[in-house]
Structure 1
Amino acid sequence: MSTGTHHHGRTARLELDDQSLRDWDAIVLDAGPERIILDRSAFYPGGGGQPPDRGVLLWQGVQTRIAGVRKSDELELIPVEGDPVPPAGTGVRCAVEDDRRSALMRTHSGLHLLCGVVFRDYGCLVTGGNMEPLSARMDFDLREVPPGFKQAVEDACNQEVEADRRIQVKSLPRAEAFEIPDIIRTATNLVPPEVEDVRIVDIVGLDTQADGGTHVASTKQIGRISVAKVENKGRGFRRLRIKISD
Structure 2
Amino acid sequence: MRHDHHGRTHRLELDDQTLREWDCTVVASDPEDGLVLDRSAFYPGGGGQPPDQGVLIWGGVQTRIVGVRPRDDLWLVPDPDDPLPPAGTVVRGAVDDDRRSLLMRTHSGLHVLCGVMARDFGVPVTGGNMEPGVARLDFDLAEVPAGFKDDLTAALNTEVTADRAIQVRVLPRAEAYALGPIVKTATDLLPPDLEDIRLVDVVGLDLQADGGTHVASTKQIGRIEVAKVENKGRGFRRIRLRIAD
Which residue matches 2:162? 163
Q: Which runs of 4+ in 1 moved over 3 A?
A: none
1:89 to 2:88 alignment: yes
Paired with 1:82 and 1:216, the residues of 2 have a C-alpha distance of: 33
Paired with 1:150 and 1:245, the residues of 2 have a C-alpha distance of: 15
Pair 1:16–1:148, CA change in 2 (3 A): same
State whether residues 5 and 17 of structure 1, in contact with CA within 8 Å, keep that contact through their aligned partners in structure 2.
no
Bigger CA drift: 79-88 or 213-222? 79-88
Deviations 1:105-148 (A, max 9, x none): 00000000001001100101100000010100000000111111
Deviations 1:30-63 (A, max 9, x none): 0012310000000000001000000000001011
- Secondary structure at the residue paired with 2:92? strand
Shift of 1:5: 6.2
1:26 to 2:2 alignment: no
Unaligned segments of structure 2, at least 5 residues: none
Paired with 2:93 and 2:224, the residues of 1 have a C-alpha distance of: 32
Paired with 2:189 and 2:118, the residues of 1 have a C-alpha distance of: 18
RMSD: 1.0
Bigger CA drift: 201-210 or 179-188? 179-188
1:20-169 alignment to 2 at 5 Å? 20-33=18-31, 34-169=33-168
Deviations 1:213-233 (A, max 9, x none): 000000000000000110011
**TM-score between the two structures when normalised by the length of structure 2:** 0.97
State whether residues 5 and 12 of structure 1, in contact with CA within 8 Å, keep that contact through their aligned partners in structure 2.
no
Shift of 1:182: 1.6
Shift of 1:82: 2.5
Unaligned segments of structure 1, at least 5 residues: none
Paired with 1:109 and 1:30, the residues of 2 have a C-alpha distance of: 33
- Secondary structure at the residue paired with 1:178? helix
**TM-score between the two structures when normalised by the length of structure 1:** 0.97
Which residue matches 1:190? 189
- Secondary structure at the residue paired with 2:81? coil
Give the fraction of aligned pairs with identical amino acids, expressed as a percent: 69
Paired with 2:143 and 2:39, the residues of 1 have a C-alpha distance of: 48
Paired with 1:194 and 1:204, the residues of 2 have a C-alpha distance of: 27
1:223 to 2:236 alignment: no
Paired with 2:98 and 2:52, the residues of 1 have a C-alpha distance of: 11
1:60 is aligned with what amino acid? G
State whether residues 24 and 95 of structure 1, in contact with CA within 8 Å, keep that contact through their aligned partners in structure 2.
yes
Paired with 1:8 and 1:61, the residues of 2 have a C-alpha distance of: 29
Match of 1:11 among 9, 14, 30: 9
State whether residues 3 and 196 of structure 2, in contact with CA within 8 Å, keep that contact through their aligned partners in structure 1.
no
Paired with 1:231 and 1:163, the residues of 2 have a C-alpha distance of: 28
Paired with 1:237 and 1:175, the residues of 2 have a C-alpha distance of: 32
2:118 is aligned with what amino acid? F
Paired with 2:13 and 2:190, the residues of 1 have a C-alpha distance of: 19
- Secondary structure at the residue paired with 1:120? helix
Paired with 1:212 and 1:233, the residues of 2 have a C-alpha distance of: 28
Shift of 1:235: 2.6
- Secondary structure at the residue paired with 1:152? helix
2:241 is aligned with what amino acid? I
Shift of 1:153: 1.0
Paired with 2:150 and 2:3, the residues of 1 have a C-alpha distance of: 42
